[in-house]
């Protein structure tokens, strides 16, 4: 089973590359944002709980997020593996994910980080904001705040996964095909 975590700042191309990896290796793509939206839209008990926190402007506790992700993994127990996109974001989430996977005789095989210069990401996101209408992609200050949040909370996971020999940095600038080729090389060796 190939369980992969896909890292990268907003705009790094995680969604595009997750689709490629999903199709190439028959993996299930679990996007935390999609899982949240599904649970909230369908008013599941976890979705209502998460919405309550979000409506107050609070972060959804790790336990709620992990329970949602556990539900997705259990739903697809026969999968060849999973791509976790947008999770974990902190060391405590990484430890919780590892504990859950170990309980189910699974583990993370690799962490793939798409590295792109912030100025390029700002340009990508501003363009995406024009095309999609997403408010969070139309304000450079908000975009840079998201990068700062990523650097503060998620970047420390590099050490966590590096000590396990599972961290791989991929140059996320260039053509979609060349980035996909780099990812394929790594995943094929897992």
For residues 118 and 9, the answer to whether their CB atoms sit within 8 Å is: yes
d(CA 38, CA 102): 26
CA 165 centroid distance within chain: 19
Residues designated catalytic = 14, 89, 128, 134, 146
Strands of 167-171's sheet in order across: 28-31, 82-85, 4-7, 110-115, 167-171
Burial of 102 (0-12, 13-18, 19+ CB in 10 A): exposed
């Amino acid at each position: 089973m190939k369980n992969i975590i896909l890292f990268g700042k907003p705009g790094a191309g995680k969604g595009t590359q997750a689709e490629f990896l999903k199709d190439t290796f028959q993996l299930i793509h679990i996007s935390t944002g999609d899982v949240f939206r599904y649970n909230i839209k369908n008013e599941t008990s976890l979705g209502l709980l998460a919405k309550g926190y979000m409506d107050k402007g609070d972060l959804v506790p790790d336990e709620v997020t992990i329970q949602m992700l556990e539900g997705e993994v259990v739903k697809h127990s026969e999968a060849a593996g999973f791509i976790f996109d947008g999770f974990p974001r902190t060391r405590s989430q990484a430890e919780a994910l590892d504990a859950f996977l170990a309980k189910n005789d699974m583990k993370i095989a690799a962490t793939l980080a798409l590295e792109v210069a912030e100025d390029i990401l700002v340009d990508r996101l501003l363009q995406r904001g024009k095309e999609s209408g997403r408010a969070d992609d139309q304000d450079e200050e908000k975009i840079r705040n998201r990068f700062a949040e990523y650097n503060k909370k998620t970047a420390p996971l590099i050490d966590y996964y590096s000590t396990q020999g599972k961290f791989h940095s991929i140059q996320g600038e260039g053509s979609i095909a060349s980035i996909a080729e780099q990812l394929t090389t790594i995943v094929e060796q897992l």
